[in-house]
Amino acid sequence: MKIIMMGAPGAGKGTHAKEISKKYCIPHISTGDILREEVQKNTDLGKTAKSYMDIGKLLPDDIIIKIVKKRLQKDDCKKGYLFDGFPRTIRQAELLDTISDLEAVIYLKCQDDLIIKRLTGRRISRDGKIYNIYFDPPPPGVDVYQRDDDNEEIIKERLKVFYDTFTPLMDFYKKKNIFFEVNGDGGREVVLENIFKILDGI
Ligand code: AMP
């Protein structure tokens, strides 16, 4: 199964993607996670990535396309994959089209005020579990950190960038009849169930 999870930052893409990846046994490919790993390792790519990520801007398409092409060559992608945070531009979508036969694009639609609460409250444990200080606080003793770009000013810029680029992408995938919208405002289980209903039907 070859899927894209689309949605504004904080819509819950990462959280749901992990469950989808488990259920359908496909790798969860998050370009944001790949870039954060490079930043952590302080590689040349990481240094470049940080300069864009710190201000909530998108990296140049050529860099992202190179990363994705390399990732898709790995053996675990043979049976399919789930993209999270990619494609973010029409150029990225067009490139993906030449190397993949996508089956579904799931768009998690969320209200902005909820998104801001989810992102400002998001905390991540060292083993990658996502918590939220408002809705799902980390248990006492669990060491968590906050992403550098999860502060209100940068979140507003990331949301602006998302909405600027989302409409053309939505039109692109609607034309291909593989675009599905899911209400992402509900509880985790309900949203996930609705996503599974769509994916089980394709
Ligand atoms: P995310 O974790 O998906 O919210 O991504 C965090 C940041 O990484 C974004 O704000 C961008 O700076 C960068 N990034 C991730 N994916 C892409 C992409 N497909 N195209 C360009 N920049 C990206």
Q: What is the pLDDT of residues 17-48, one digit of tens each?
A: 999 999 999 999 999 999 999 999 999 999 99
> What is the pLDDT, as a whole number, of residue 187?
86
CA of 21 to the centre of ligand 1 (A): 20
Residue 103 near residue 5, CB atoms below 8 Å: no
Q: Average pLDDT of the chain?
A: 95
> What is the pLDDT, as a whole number, of residue 15?
87
Tokens of 73: 């060559």
- Ligand 1 atom closest to Cα of 56? 10
**Residue closest to 76 by CA, chosen among 26, 38, 33, 41:** 26
Buried b / exposed e over 29-63, threshold 16 CB at 10 Å, is bbbbebbbebbeeeeebbebbbeebeebebbebeb
Q: What is the pLDDT of residues 64-112, one digit of tens each?
A: 999 999 999 999 999 999 999 999 999 999 999 999 999 999 999 999 9
CA angle 126, 78, 99 (to 5 degrees): 100
Strands (DSSP E) found in the chain: 2-7, 28-30, 81-84, 104-109, 122-125, 130-132, 144-145, 179-183
Domains of the chain: 2-200 (3.40.50.300)
> What is the pLDDT, as a whole number, of residue 144?
97
The yes-or-no answer on residue 176 being catalytic is no
Reported pTM? 0.89
Tokens of 100: 């993949």
Beta-bridge mates of residue 122: 132
Classify 7 as helix, strand or coil.
strand
Query: Alpha-carbon torsion 49, 61, 124, 9, what sign?
Result: positive
Q: What is the pLDDT of residues 146-195, one digit of tens each?
A: 998 999 899 999 999 999 999 999 999 999 999 999 999 988 899 999 99
Tokens 């200080």 belong to which residue?
133
> What are the pocket residues of ligand 1 if the criterion is a CB atom closer than 6 Å to any ligand atom?
9, 31-32, 35, 52-53, 56-59, 64, 85-88, 92, 158
